[in-house]
């Protein structure tokens, strides 16, 4: 018994093991919390909101869709494509206007030209007139900016869809944003 009390070899091994375990757990916890802090506070997220969605059909042969995209995220966004009812819209059927002010009124139906385009047309929302430009490739939307988007003759929307809910999706490299609305008559 006297020899067991004098032997410090067993006690120092246990204490050493505990110290190593406690230090390694503390270090891993510090590294984990630092990594979480870096990824959550320094990464700016993408966030788009879609408002004022409308789809119209003129009752004969022309349909038109319109909506407002607001970039509420902390970084600029590239819009890769837009689809209506799962059918990707060609860029030459997409018309847009980027603005730093967000319109509060509903988007109006814009009467197309004789060849079914919106070239040279404007959208008057409230008291502000927005010139519509035709898209030819991916659209870039700055952080905190808005974009008015019109699509002429979106695929798969016909006169039989008046009163039916139709969905459309905006695709970016990181996400997709889906909205639905009813098809209305234009006149």
Per residue of the chain (187 residues), give pLDDT as tens. 566 556 555 567 778 888 888 889 999 999 998 888 777 665 568 889 999 999 998 878 788 899 999 998 888 899 999 999 888 999 999 999 999 888 888 888 888 887 777 877 778 888 888 888 899 999 999 988 999 999 998 877 888 888 889 898 999 988 899 999 998 887 6
Where b means 16+ CB within 10 Å and e means fewer, 14-43 reads eeeeeeeeeeeeeeeeeeeeeeeeeeeeee
CA dist 82 to 139, 173, 177, Å? Answer: 10, 12, 10
CATH of domain 48-185: 2.60.40
Sign of the alpha-carbon torsion through 87, 185, 180, 144: positive
């Amino acid at each position: 018994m006297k020899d067991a009390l004098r032997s410090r070899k067993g006690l120092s091994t246990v204490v050493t093991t505990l110290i190593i375990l406690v230090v390694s757990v503390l270090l891993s916890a510090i590294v984990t919390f630092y990594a979480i802090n870096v990824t959550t506070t320094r990464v700016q997220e993408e966030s788009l909101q879609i408002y004022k969605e409308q789809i119209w059909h003129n009752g004969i042969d022309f349909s038109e869709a319109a909506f407002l995209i607001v970039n509420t995220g902390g970084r600029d966004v590239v819009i890769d494509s837009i689809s209506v009812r799962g059918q990707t819209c060609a860029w030459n059927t997409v018309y847009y206007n980027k603005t730093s002010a967000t319109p509060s009124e509903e988007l109006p139906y814009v009467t197309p030209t004789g060849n079914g385009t919106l070239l040279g047309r404007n959208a008057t929302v409230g008291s502000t007139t927005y010139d519509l430009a035709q898209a030819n490739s991916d659209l870039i939307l700055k952080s905190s900016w808005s974009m008015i988007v019109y699509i002429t003759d979106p695929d798969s929307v016909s006169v039989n869809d008046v009163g039916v809910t139709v969905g459309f999706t905006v695709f970016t490299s990181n996400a997709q944003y889906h909205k639905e609305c009813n098809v209305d008559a234009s006149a």
